[in-house]
Structure 1
């Protein structure tokens, strides 16, 4: 049986973490713009904005990754954890590693921030991921819709017309 351990990522993991996230981007058909230096800066720099857990085999090969950040919700009156990326190596899927990574995110967030819930986004054209999350107990909230402001509108927000 394949032994897999889960641990908090450390600065020396930036390159391997980015390699795993690049595989997630490729699997999703997304352009991967993050460089190793971006991962090092934003996960391990002086003002980190996300954290990551790595799942590894006994040879320290990365088989899974969860990237996450805390946020506060006035609706829940509590800290939530936003899981921005969850990746499991294709050959390891179906072995409960995604569930284990999410459980480790919950445990870490509960310990560090007294977190009370998880939130994530799922692409509309990814029914297998949606089914996975629903089996765990995630529910679609019809009251919310995530919106994104980026590019020129982000850069000019607040400028006078």
Structure 2
């Protein structure tokens, strides 16, 4: 079952964020707390949205956290999928596909024309999964990021 996340899901989402970061060999980079997620997802001005996947017993086994982006070329919003994660014990059960299907449905329903995300180049299982669903790598684009000291320096 796929559903919109609720405030009660925050502890599980936070735990899965940490599990994902550990899988990506970047657990030491996680600074987000449950309170950060609560504010981002359910605060006065939500900046992000989330869906969760539940197994047959109602346990949360995966999540998709996303936010809106905008295409100046297409003139409409799209969804940027920040994180998609399914716990290892639930992989192969269709939860990842169901989460992506729900986000695609949201795009179509709202007139959004893109569903985009990034994947680590070494994460072959994820790449194979996404490509099997019809997603294609945008090979002409590289992602750039300013953080920490560089962000502060550029901000002046």
TM-score between both structures, scaled by the size of structure 1: 0.88
CA distance in 1, matches of 2:93, 2:9: 24
Partner of 1:65: 63
Structure 2 contact 79–116 (Cα < 8 Å) conserved: yes
Matched, 1:54 2:55: no
CA distance in 2, matches of 1:110, 1:137: 16
Matched, 1:157 2:154: yes
Mapping 1:1-161, distance limit 5 Å: 5-31=1-27, 32-111=30-109, 113-159=110-156
Contiguous gaps of at least 5 residues in structure 2: none
CA distance in 2, matches of 1:44, 1:57: 24
> Match of 2:11, SS?
helix
CA deviation digits over 1:78-118, x for unaligned, max 9? 2211101000111211122111100111222433x421121
Structure 2 contact 65–82 (Cα < 8 Å) conserved: yes
CA distance in 1, matches of 2:108, 2:8: 25
State the Cα distance separating 1:143 from its structure 2 match. 2.1
CA distance in 2, matches of 1:76, 1:93: 35
Structure 2 contact 10–37 (Cα < 8 Å) conserved: yes
Contiguous gaps of at least 5 residues in structure 1: none
Q: Any runs of at least 4 consecutive aligned residues in structure 1 with deviations exceeding 6 A, and if so which?
A: none
